Structure 1
């Protein structure tokens, strides 16, 4: 399995979400996740912070300050940060009309590191279905920030052929990682997601992440490496999606299955 570009030593990587509605909450979640053995990446859900502070004005000083302070709170030595504005269309809080500008601005955010320099997010999430997704991916590549292109289905699971097509589209767009999350209604949906993820992982030159959400999909969060998924999202505290297991649970299974 190919490693993630922003977590090269962990296969599959464990990504812990930070969903705090204040900088203090983000900092506390980051500290807890950073002290949890097995966590490889922090996903900072920027939309959760801005929603709690009602700071959606794209050009407002309030929104800019919240993003800068939030990223500083999410930054820990040695842990990459995946920065995510999840749109309302895909289960998050970010209004569609400000999605493009906010993600574009996020690529230029920086915080002091432990060596006296400045650090930016290691990766940003770009929803492939959003208007301007190709431009956002191109802008990220110019700034040296990795891109996790993503697609989320909260009601159902597309056919395996459609899942593969979306992952291939993300790779063709220039993403560094291709991610899809679906909501299975049957175990056949779970198996279809796993099969499609495995096929894409074999065919594409970039890592892929495949997740089935909810109770039925917990298997996909625990056994990612077995079907070609390069990462899984696991909690240290609050979850960001239904069915997420704890980081400790995922780390234990990962260790047991590691070859």
Structure 2
């Protein structure tokens, strides 16, 4: 689920669930499950009744009971990091994540590493107490920061005790995509937790396909609706990753045995 790929194994494929209400969520979930994702990310910031804890718990319960044991990742993405506008404060978001953690409905929660340290530490404590995984994430929908800054965000996630570190950035050119991949590769060598990284948009789509070769353990794909620019339909992504593995594996690719031409 959240394991280091060490550059050799296929990444887990996560698909977003972005329904605005209870009915939409279950309809979307049924469509997504046909494509057999490894993880489903419920983007709670899309949910119209996010302020109603009872509604959130009811929806979480139904998603869990209909998920066919697919692990659920719960995310409330902030608007500053690419999420939907919501009227909740960071403290209120923490309260929602903490409450859902106390139930069996989700396996993983996502929280942004730029949030208040006290909130991060509290969610780390609550998630551990309830046997949930914590992903600490960083998103930049405007540009790709320098490699050192991407690495710093991943390092901070490990520093706070996260189970995985995530970084998603927006490229302006091909070099930006390479910057993200290089940061991933260096972080994989230095850090001990799994990484989830991607370059977004059309330019960055290649990182969703080959990111596992640099150390990214999870890639995001479209199940029914996209939650970020550049996501590839899950069926196509799975085929492309398998083809990439085949042609880069010396034992399975006959062209590796021919030598230089």
Contact 1:213 1:243 (C-alpha < 8 Å) held by counterparts: yes
Larger radius of gyration: 2
Contact 1:24 1:73 (C-alpha < 8 Å) held by counterparts: no
State the match for 1:103 in structure 2: 94
State the match for 2:59 in structure 1: 70
Q: CA deviation at 1:96?
A: 7.6
1:16 aligns with 2:5: no
State the match for 1:128 in structure 2: 113
DSSP-derived class of the 2:13 partner:
strand
Query: Structure 2: where are the runs of 5+ without partners?
Result: 4-8, 250-261
TM-score normalised by structure 2 residue count: 0.85
Q: 1:246 aligns with which of 212, 233, 236?
A: 233
DSSP-derived class of the 2:100 partner:
coil
CA distance in structure 1 between the partners assigned to 2:239 and 2:170 by the alignment: 25
Deviations 1:115-145 (A, max 9, x none): xxx7231000010111222322232122211
Contact 2:45 2:86 (C-alpha < 8 Å) held by counterparts: no
Q: CA deviation at 1:92?
A: 0.9
Label 1:133 to 1:234 Cα distance change in 2 as closer, same or farther (>3 A): same
Contact 2:101 2:127 (C-alpha < 8 Å) held by counterparts: no
TM-score normalised by structure 1 residue count: 0.85
Label 1:33 to 1:97 Cα distance change in 2 as closer, same or farther (>3 A): closer
State the match for 2:44 in structure 1: 46
Number of residue pairs aligned between Structure 1 and Structure 2: 239
Q: 1:142 aligns with which of 129, 148, 168?
A: 129
Label 1:119 to 1:256 Cα distance change in 2 as closer, same or farther (>3 A): same
Contact 1:129 1:151 (C-alpha < 8 Å) held by counterparts: yes
Query: Structure 1: where are the runs of 5+ without partners?
Result: 57-62, 112-117
DSSP-derived class of the 2:197 partner:
strand
Q: CA deviation at 1:102?
A: 2.6
Contact 2:42 2:75 (C-alpha < 8 Å) held by counterparts: yes
CA distance in structure 1 between the partners assigned to 2:169 and 2:136 by the alignment: 15
* CA RMSD between the two structures: 2.2
State the match for 1:197 in structure 2: 184
Q: CA deviation at 1:182?
A: 0.3
CA distance in structure 2 between the partners assigned to 1:26 and 1:235 by the alignment: 15
CA distance in structure 2 between the partners assigned to 1:103 and 1:238 by the alignment: 26
CA distance in structure 2 between the partners assigned to 1:189 and 1:96 by the alignment: 33
Label 1:130 to 1:224 Cα distance change in 2 as closer, same or farther (>3 A): same
Q: 2:223 aligns with which of 229, 236, 259?
A: 236
